[in-house]
């Protein structure tokens, strides 16, 4: 349920699923400088808990996922503005699969925060805008890299240089959104996908996420990927997965 008062991002853990919620609904879930260290701490908490298999990132309410990093701080070119870039990079390489439940409008740096997730479910009627060029801001390097890697150069140029409002249907076509649903279906679809991700073999999924990201970034380590492949051939999870297939039951993966 939405909180009555604004706060730093909230982390809730239920079984194998962690939920991280931006919680400043009256300010369109903007991200303040003090929120950055909180986000890093939450990411560390997730990394340190082997029982967590997936992270869902969303915003409080039904209007805005997030308006991004507070503009007053960006204008000061403070150290915190640089740290936002580092926080998003940290989310991108998080061990577990990540899912952005984009419950409304998404703007500025929040568009990159969602893009750093592995999956993005959006809602009809929402709005997207990357206004950097319209306010005189040169976007930070990590965000530009992510856009080109994940969406391609042509789409990145349209979003960054034009700074226009983009409809969710177009975002789905470009691949920014993984899926698009009506608002009433968002919670159920996100829960179903989170449960599906939580049920897969964690070592295999986390290893493939890491190597797929490396391939996209042009820093693929074939030897490391091969070592993970060989390790999986000897794993208890593979034995369990094959046994479950033969026995026509759901597998019970341990991560070993």
Q: How many CB atoms lie within 10 A of CB 71?
A: 15
Check: CB of residue 141 under 8 Å from CB of residue 148: no
What residues does each domain of the chain span?
10-197, 201-247
pTM over 0.75: yes
pLDDT at residue 83, as a whole number: 86
Handedness of CA 160, 162, 163, 169 (dihedral sign): negative
Residues of the chain predicted below pLDDT 70: 1-4, 72-82
pLDDT at residue 254, as a whole number: 87
C-alpha–C-alpha distance, residues 188 and 95, integer Å: 24
Helix (H) or strand (E) segment spanning residue 246: helix 236-247
pLDDT at residue 1, as a whole number: 44
CATH class for domain 10-197? alpha beta
């Amino acid at each position: 349920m939405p909180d009555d008062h604004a706060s730093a991002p909230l982390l809730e853990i239920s079984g194998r699923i962690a939920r991280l919620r931006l919680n400043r609904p009256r300010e369109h879930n903007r991200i303040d400088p003090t929120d950055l260290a909180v986000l890093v701490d939450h990411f560390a908490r997730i990394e340190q808990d082997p029982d967590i298999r997936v992270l869902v990132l969303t915003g409080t309410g039904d209007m805005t996922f997030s308006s991004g990093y507070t503009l007053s701080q960006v204008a000061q070119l403070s150290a915190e503005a640089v740290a936002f870039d580092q926080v998003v990079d940290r989310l991108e390489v998080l061990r577990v699969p990540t899912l952005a439940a984009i419950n409304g409008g998404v703007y500025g740096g929040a568009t990159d925060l969602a893009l750093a997730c592995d999956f993005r479910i959006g809602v009809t009627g929402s709005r997207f805008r990357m206004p950097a060029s319209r306010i005189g801001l040169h976007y930070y390097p990590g965000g530009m890299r992510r856009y080109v890697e994940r969406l391609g150069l042509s789409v990145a140029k349209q979003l960054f240089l034009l700074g226009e409002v983009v409809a969710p249907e177009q975002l789905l076509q470009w691949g920014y959104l993984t899926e698009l649903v009506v608002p009433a279906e968002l919670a159920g679809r996100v829960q179903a996908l989170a449960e599906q991700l939580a049920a897969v073999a964690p070592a295999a999924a986390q290893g493939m996420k890491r190597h797929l990201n490396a391939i996209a970034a042009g820093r693929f380590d074939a030897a490391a990927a091969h070592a993970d492949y060989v390790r999986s051939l000897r794993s208890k999870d593979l034995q369990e997965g094959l046994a479950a297939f033969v026995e026509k039951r759901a597998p019970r993966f341990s991560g070993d």
